[in-house]
Structure 1
Amino acid sequence: MYGITNPTAHTSGRLAELIESGRVQPLIEDTFPLEDLRSAQAHLLKRTHVGKCVVIP
């Protein structure tokens, strides 16, 4: 599913099943506290991340 932007209902449903079963997990590149949002944005703007960047409230 790498790079998919408009999945069909079937594809979205199948992906949800795989996530719920634990067979597919999101790739998390890094986490940032909300107080450090500036660093999170700077990290994203470098465009070198491979996974998701998560901001923790």
Structure 2
Amino acid sequence: MPQLNPNPWLFIMLMSWFTFSLVIQPKLLTFVSMNPPSSKTPTTPSTTPWTWPWT
């Protein structure tokens, strides 16, 4: 069963992960986010109970 032979595929998978982790990911993390997180506390909206006509 050639699918169980990890010889070429393990190396390809490891090299692709190393490439992503060491080259691509730092470049992506340098971009400035267009929607930065804010330090405001979330406010809960005030809700009123719904009046059902059949109760």
> TM (normalized to structure 1)?
0.26
Larger Rg: 2
Q: Decide which structure has greater strand share.
A: 1
| Higher-RCO chain (CA-CA 8 Å, sequence separation at least 6) | 1
> TM (normalized to structure 2)?
0.26
